[in-house]
Amino acid sequence: MPHVIAIANEKGGVAKTTTALSVGGALVEIGYEVLLVDLDAQANLTLGVGLRPDTLRRTVADVLLNTSSALSASRETDLPGLDIIPANEEMNTAERFLPIRQNYQFILRNALHGLQLYDYILLDCPPSLGAVTSNALMAAERLIVPTQAEYFSAYALRNMLQLIRRIRQDGNPTLVYNILITMLDRRNRIHRTIEGQIRSKFTERVFQTVIQIDTKLRESTVAGLPVTHFSKSSRSAQQYRALAQELIQYVEEAETIA
Protein backbone atom coordinates (compact mmCIF):
# COMPACT_ATOMS: atom_id res chain seq x y z
CA MET A 1 0.00 0.00 0.00
CA PRO A 2 1.22 3.54 -0.66
CA HIS A 3 2.24 5.79 2.19
CA VAL A 4 -0.28 8.63 2.47
CA ILE A 5 1.19 11.89 3.77
CA ALA A 6 -0.96 14.98 4.38
CA ILE A 7 0.55 18.47 4.36
CA ALA A 8 -1.62 20.91 6.28
CA ASN A 9 -1.72 24.05 8.36
CA GLU A 10 -4.57 26.46 9.05
CA LYS A 11 -2.17 29.32 8.35
CA GLY A 12 -1.73 30.25 4.72
CA GLY A 13 1.56 31.18 3.11
CA VAL A 14 3.70 28.68 5.01
CA ALA A 15 4.86 26.68 1.94
CA LYS A 16 2.39 23.79 2.06
CA THR A 17 2.07 23.57 -1.71
CA THR A 18 5.77 24.19 -2.28
CA THR A 19 6.54 21.38 0.15
CA ALA A 20 4.12 18.95 -1.52
CA LEU A 21 5.60 19.63 -4.94
CA SER A 22 9.23 19.67 -3.82
CA VAL A 23 9.03 16.54 -1.67
CA GLY A 24 7.23 14.84 -4.55
CA GLY A 25 10.05 15.80 -6.87
CA ALA A 26 12.69 14.59 -4.42
CA LEU A 27 10.94 11.22 -3.99
CA VAL A 28 10.61 10.76 -7.76
CA GLU A 29 14.30 11.58 -8.13
CA ILE A 30 15.11 8.67 -5.81
CA GLY A 31 12.94 6.33 -7.87
CA TYR A 32 9.57 6.30 -6.09
CA GLU A 33 6.22 6.58 -7.85
CA VAL A 34 4.34 9.56 -6.39
CA LEU A 35 0.76 10.84 -6.60
CA LEU A 36 0.04 14.44 -5.65
CA VAL A 37 -3.51 15.31 -4.59
CA ASP A 38 -4.49 18.98 -4.76
CA LEU A 39 -7.26 19.63 -2.22
CA ASP A 40 -7.22 23.43 -2.36
CA ALA A 41 -9.71 25.46 -4.42
CA GLN A 42 -6.90 27.89 -5.27
CA ALA A 43 -5.34 24.97 -7.21
CA ASN A 44 -1.78 26.19 -6.72
CA LEU A 45 -0.38 22.67 -6.78
CA THR A 46 -2.22 22.04 -10.05
CA LEU A 47 -0.72 25.23 -11.45
CA GLY A 48 2.65 24.22 -10.02
CA VAL A 49 2.84 21.16 -12.28
CA GLY A 50 1.88 23.19 -15.34
CA LEU A 51 -1.87 22.44 -15.59
CA ARG A 52 -4.60 25.04 -16.09
CA PRO A 53 -7.40 24.46 -13.55
CA ASP A 54 -10.07 26.08 -15.74
CA THR A 55 -9.53 23.55 -18.54
CA LEU A 56 -9.81 20.37 -16.46
CA ARG A 57 -12.69 17.99 -17.11
CA ARG A 58 -12.26 15.89 -13.99
CA THR A 59 -10.76 16.89 -10.65
CA VAL A 60 -10.53 15.80 -7.04
CA ALA A 61 -13.96 17.39 -6.45
CA ASP A 62 -15.45 14.65 -8.63
CA VAL A 63 -13.80 12.07 -6.41
CA LEU A 64 -15.20 13.65 -3.24
CA LEU A 65 -18.68 14.52 -4.48
CA ASN A 66 -19.49 12.43 -7.54
CA THR A 67 -17.91 9.09 -6.63
CA SER A 68 -15.44 9.21 -9.51
CA SER A 69 -12.47 6.93 -8.92
CA ALA A 70 -9.18 8.45 -7.88
CA LEU A 71 -7.47 6.74 -10.78
CA SER A 72 -9.87 8.21 -13.34
CA ALA A 73 -9.21 11.72 -12.01
CA SER A 74 -5.42 11.39 -11.97
CA ARG A 75 -3.19 12.95 -14.60
CA GLU A 76 0.41 12.44 -15.58
CA THR A 77 2.72 15.42 -15.25
CA ASP A 78 5.71 16.26 -17.42
CA LEU A 79 7.89 14.58 -14.81
CA PRO A 80 7.92 10.77 -15.17
CA GLY A 81 6.87 9.08 -11.95
CA LEU A 82 4.89 12.09 -10.71
CA ASP A 83 1.11 12.10 -11.20
CA ILE A 84 -1.53 14.45 -9.83
CA ILE A 85 -5.21 14.52 -9.03
CA PRO A 86 -5.79 18.20 -9.82
CA ALA A 87 -8.17 20.74 -8.32
CA ASN A 88 -10.08 23.81 -9.36
CA GLU A 89 -12.63 26.16 -7.80
CA GLU A 90 -15.15 23.30 -7.52
CA MET A 91 -13.36 22.42 -4.28
CA ASN A 92 -15.31 25.30 -2.71
CA THR A 93 -18.44 23.27 -3.40
CA ALA A 94 -16.83 20.17 -1.92
CA GLU A 95 -16.05 22.02 1.32
CA ARG A 96 -19.71 23.04 1.63
CA PHE A 97 -21.42 19.80 0.69
CA LEU A 98 -19.08 17.09 1.96
CA PRO A 99 -20.57 17.12 5.48
CA ILE A 100 -24.04 16.15 4.24
CA ARG A 101 -22.76 12.89 2.76
CA GLN A 102 -22.92 9.77 4.87
CA ASN A 103 -19.60 8.92 6.56
CA TYR A 104 -18.07 11.85 4.72
CA GLN A 105 -14.93 11.80 6.88
CA PHE A 106 -13.76 8.63 5.14
CA ILE A 107 -14.54 9.44 1.49
CA LEU A 108 -10.95 10.31 0.55
CA ARG A 109 -9.53 7.39 2.51
CA ASN A 110 -11.82 4.99 0.68
CA ALA A 111 -11.06 6.58 -2.69
CA LEU A 112 -7.30 6.20 -2.22
CA HIS A 113 -7.51 2.69 -0.84
CA GLY A 114 -6.01 0.15 -3.19
CA LEU A 115 -4.00 2.56 -5.38
CA GLN A 116 -1.13 0.12 -5.75
CA LEU A 117 0.57 2.13 -8.50
CA TYR A 118 2.20 4.53 -6.07
CA ASP A 119 4.74 4.41 -3.28
CA TYR A 120 3.75 7.79 -1.82
CA ILE A 121 0.57 9.88 -1.98
CA LEU A 122 0.98 13.51 -0.90
CA LEU A 123 -2.16 15.45 0.06
CA ASP A 124 -1.90 19.23 -0.27
CA CYS A 125 -4.58 20.66 2.04
CA PRO A 126 -6.31 24.06 1.95
CA PRO A 127 -5.46 26.73 4.57
CA SER A 128 -8.43 25.82 6.75
CA LEU A 129 -9.43 23.11 9.22
CA GLY A 130 -12.76 22.24 7.60
CA ALA A 131 -14.26 19.13 6.05
CA VAL A 132 -11.65 18.75 3.30
CA THR A 133 -8.67 18.93 5.64
CA SER A 134 -10.37 16.55 8.05
CA ASN A 135 -10.89 14.13 5.15
CA ALA A 136 -7.20 14.32 4.32
CA LEU A 137 -6.12 13.66 7.89
CA MET A 138 -8.47 10.69 8.12
CA ALA A 139 -6.81 9.26 5.02
CA ALA A 140 -3.21 9.95 6.07
CA GLU A 141 -0.78 7.92 8.13
CA ARG A 142 1.43 10.96 8.72
CA LEU A 143 0.94 14.72 8.74
CA ILE A 144 3.56 17.32 7.86
CA VAL A 145 2.78 20.72 9.39
CA PRO A 146 4.85 23.44 7.69
CA THR A 147 5.29 26.56 9.79
CA GLN A 148 7.32 29.71 9.54
CA ALA A 149 9.48 30.72 12.47
CA GLU A 150 7.16 33.65 13.14
CA TYR A 151 4.70 34.35 15.94
CA PHE A 152 1.38 34.04 14.11
CA SER A 153 2.44 30.90 12.26
CA ALA A 154 3.73 29.23 15.42
CA TYR A 155 0.58 30.27 17.31
CA ALA A 156 -1.59 28.53 14.68
CA LEU A 157 -0.02 25.20 15.66
CA ARG A 158 -2.37 25.08 18.65
CA ASN A 159 -5.41 24.64 16.41
CA MET A 160 -3.63 21.99 14.37
CA LEU A 161 -2.88 19.98 17.50
CA GLN A 162 -6.53 20.16 18.54
CA LEU A 163 -7.58 18.85 15.13
CA ILE A 164 -5.04 16.02 15.31
CA ARG A 165 -6.47 14.94 18.67
CA ARG A 166 -10.01 14.97 17.25
CA ILE A 167 -8.98 12.98 14.16
CA ARG A 168 -7.31 10.38 16.37
CA GLN A 169 -10.47 10.07 18.46
CA ASP A 170 -12.85 9.95 15.48
CA GLY A 171 -11.27 7.26 13.35
CA ASN A 172 -7.53 7.56 12.68
CA PRO A 173 -5.88 6.72 16.03
CA THR A 174 -2.42 6.10 14.55
CA LEU A 175 -2.02 9.47 12.84
CA VAL A 176 1.40 10.96 13.63
CA TYR A 177 2.73 14.39 12.80
CA ASN A 178 5.97 16.24 12.22
CA ILE A 179 6.55 19.98 12.12
CA LEU A 180 8.58 21.47 9.28
CA ILE A 181 10.14 24.92 9.70
CA THR A 182 9.96 26.77 6.38
CA MET A 183 10.98 30.11 4.88
CA LEU A 184 13.66 30.48 7.53
CA ASP A 185 16.02 33.44 7.45
CA ARG A 186 18.97 32.61 9.71
CA ARG A 187 20.05 36.26 9.66
CA ASN A 188 16.81 37.15 11.45
CA ARG A 189 17.14 36.99 15.25
CA ILE A 190 13.38 36.48 15.73
CA HIS A 191 13.43 33.54 13.31
CA ARG A 192 16.29 31.94 15.22
CA THR A 193 14.55 32.50 18.56
CA ILE A 194 11.20 31.08 17.46
CA GLU A 195 12.86 28.11 15.79
CA GLY A 196 14.52 27.34 19.11
CA GLN A 197 11.22 27.67 20.96
CA ILE A 198 9.46 25.33 18.52
CA ARG A 199 12.23 22.74 18.84
CA SER A 200 12.19 23.04 22.63
CA LYS A 201 8.42 22.50 22.82
CA PHE A 202 7.96 19.78 20.18
CA THR A 203 11.43 18.14 20.40
CA GLU A 204 11.54 15.02 18.19
CA ARG A 205 8.34 16.04 16.38
CA VAL A 206 10.29 18.70 14.49
CA PHE A 207 12.17 17.74 11.33
CA GLN A 208 15.88 18.34 11.63
CA THR A 209 15.78 19.66 8.08
CA VAL A 210 14.69 23.28 7.67
CA ILE A 211 13.71 25.04 4.46
CA GLN A 212 15.37 28.42 4.12
CA ILE A 213 14.20 31.34 2.01
CA ASP A 214 15.19 30.81 -1.62
CA THR A 215 13.93 32.63 -4.73
CA LYS A 216 14.45 29.42 -6.73
CA LEU A 217 11.33 28.02 -5.06
CA ARG A 218 9.16 30.77 -6.53
CA GLU A 219 10.78 30.41 -9.92
CA SER A 220 10.27 26.64 -9.97
CA THR A 221 6.50 26.91 -9.49
CA VAL A 222 6.27 29.36 -12.41
CA ALA A 223 8.22 26.85 -14.50
CA GLY A 224 5.85 24.04 -13.51
CA LEU A 225 8.57 21.86 -12.00
CA PRO A 226 9.71 20.84 -8.50
CA VAL A 227 12.76 22.79 -7.42
CA THR A 228 14.70 19.51 -7.35
CA HIS A 229 14.37 19.39 -11.12
CA PHE A 230 14.22 23.11 -11.92
CA SER A 231 17.39 24.09 -10.07
CA LYS A 232 19.09 20.87 -9.03
CA SER A 233 22.03 22.40 -7.19
CA SER A 234 20.13 25.15 -5.38
CA ARG A 235 20.02 25.31 -1.61
CA SER A 236 16.29 24.62 -1.49
CA ALA A 237 16.65 21.58 -3.76
CA GLN A 238 19.27 20.15 -1.44
CA GLN A 239 17.13 20.87 1.61
CA TYR A 240 14.04 19.21 0.13
CA ARG A 241 16.12 16.17 -0.78
CA ALA A 242 17.27 16.02 2.84
CA LEU A 243 13.66 16.37 3.99
CA ALA A 244 12.58 13.51 1.72
CA GLN A 245 15.30 11.29 3.18
CA GLU A 246 14.24 12.20 6.70
CA LEU A 247 10.61 11.45 5.83
CA ILE A 248 11.56 8.07 4.37
CA GLN A 249 13.47 7.26 7.55
CA TYR A 250 10.42 8.08 9.69
CA VAL A 251 8.18 5.95 7.49
CA GLU A 252 10.56 2.99 7.55
CA GLU A 253 10.94 3.21 11.33
CA ALA A 254 7.15 3.22 11.72
CA GLU A 255 6.91 0.11 9.50
CA THR A 256 9.50 -1.65 11.64
CA ILE A 257 7.59 -0.87 14.84
CA ALA A 258 4.30 -2.02 13.27
Mean pLDDT by 10 residues, the chain (258 residues): 95 94 97 98 95 93 91 95 97 92 93 92 96 97 95 89 96 97 93 94 96 92 91 96 97 82
pTM of the model: 0.96
Which residues pair with residue 36 across a beta bridge?
84, 122
Q: What is the pLDDT of residue 37?
A: 98
Q: What is the pLDDT of residue 254?
A: 86
Q: Are strands 34-38 and 3-7 parallel, antiparallel or unpaired?
A: unpaired
**Long-range contacts of residues 205-209, Cβ cutoff 8 Å, at least 24 apart:** 205/177, 205/178, 205/179, 206/178, 206/179, 206/180, 206/181, 207/178, 207/179, 207/180, 207/181, 207/243, 207/246, 208/246, 209/180, 209/239, 209/242, 209/243, 209/246
Residue 258, number of CB atoms within 10 A of its CB: 7
Contact 130, 95 (CB under 8 A): yes
Among candidates 179, 157, 191, 183, which has minimal Cα distance to 235?
Answer: 183
How far apart are the C-alpha atoms of 29 and 78, rounded to whole Å? 13
Q: Which residues of 128-143 are buried (b: 16+ CB within 10 A; e: fewer)?
A: bbebbbbbbbbbbbbb
Domains in the chain, number: 1
Domain CATH number, residue 107: 3.40.50.300
How far apart are the C-alpha atoms of 49 and 46, rounded to whole Å? 6
Domain range for residue 89? 3-257
Q: What is the pLDDT of residue 258?
A: 62
Give the orientation angle of helix 215-223 with respect to helix 16-30, to 10 degrees: 80
How far apart are the C-alpha atoms of 37 and 70, rounded to whole Å? 9
